[in-house]
Amino acid sequence: MKLDPSLLQNLPPFERLNAADRQEVLDLARIRRVLPGKSVFEEGMDATHFHLLLDGHIRVERLNPEGEKVISLHIPPGQLFGIARALGRDIYPATALAVTECLILVWPTALWETFVERYDGFSTEAYKVVGNRVSEMNNRIMELATQHVEQRVARAILRLMQQHGRDSEIGTQIAFPVTRKVISEMTGSTLHTVSRLLSRWERQRIVQSQHRHIFVLDEGRLEKLTH
């Protein structure tokens, strides 16, 4: 199956390549389709590949020694991920899970050096991704260290909305199903506390949720709850 080079057209890491190079990059890639709930790679596995998410949503999570889950981040379409090699790691530090059906380009890790050398802008973009993640991790640490659960949950929903929102008639909808449990794993909390908070916010018309679908009705008031 031949991939269409326009796939890479608007993706930052490959934006500065000409058509021939884009074709070359695609010829080196394998494409993977991953069903919701299936993992792309698992924490501790050999980092044999690096990845670009073409479509869908990825959840990155880790387990602590007691088996409690902590969700690190969600990846929107268009981003590089699983690039352990950029930081000299040879195993994946976390598990990547498809939340919705995903379309992913994967390249063997051995090609990393080549990409960095040969493709203009690739390394800069890759390290920009790392820089953003580091910065998000820093913010996360600040929040966990200084804020209450309510503020952290508000911030988590706000972030999901901003990074994965799609407009709808009643407000902004988060683009993939999110349970109370998931939010608690994103915030270091429990599903009960999250449920109580969401119930309250629903009464106040700040959010609305049905089953696993969350809509933000009033971004401004949600933002106020974060501090």
Residue in this structure with the two tokens 């010829």, named with its chain if needed = 27
Residue 46 engages its own copies in binding (rule: CB under 8 A): no
Q: Using an 8 Å Cβ cutoff, are 75 and 57 in contact? A: yes
Measured from the CB atom, the residue of 137 and 170 that comes closer to its own copies is: 137
The option from its own copies, DNA, none interacting with 172 (CB < 5 to 8 A, set by class) reads none
Give the x/- contact pattern for DNA in 144-183, rule: CB under 7 A: ----xxx----------------------------xxx--
**Selected binder of its own copies within 28, 31, 110, 141 (CB under 8 A):** 141
Which of its own copies, DNA, none binds 196 (CB below 5-8 Å, type-dependent)?
DNA
Tell me, residue by residue from 189 to 218, as one string, x for binding to DNA by CB under 7 A and - for no binding. Answer: xxxxx-xx-xx--x------xxxx------
Q: Which is nearer to DNA, 3 or 217 (CB)?
A: 217
The C-alpha atoms of residue 119 and residue 112 are separated, in whole angstroms, by 10
Alpha-carbon radius of gyration of the chain: 19
Q: Is 64 in the site for DNA (CB under 7 A)?
A: no
DSSP state of 94: S
Do residues 216 and 148 lie in contact, with contact meaning Cβ atoms separated by under 8 Å? no
Q: Which residue has the tokens 């268009």?
A: 78
**Residue 223, both tokens:** 């933002």
CA-to-CA dists, residue 167 to 124, 162, 172, 217, angstroms: 32, 11, 5, 11
Nearer to DNA, 29 or 206 (CB): 206
- Strands across the sheet with 172-174, in order? 165-167, 172-174, 213-216, 207-210
216 - beta bridge partners? Answer: 172, 207
Does the protein bind its own copies through residue 137 (CB under 8 A)?
A: yes
User: Using CB under 8 A, which of 94, 98, 161, 222 touches its own copies?
Assistant: 94
* 215 alpha-carbon distance from chain centroid: 19
User: Residue numbers of the site for DNA (CB under 7 A)?
Assistant: 148-150, 179-181, 188-193, 195-196, 198-199, 202, 209-212
User: Residue numbers of the site for its own copies (CB under 8 A)?
Assistant: 62, 64-66, 68, 70, 72, 86-89, 93-94, 124, 127-128, 130-131, 133-135, 137-138, 140-142, 144-146, 187-188, 227
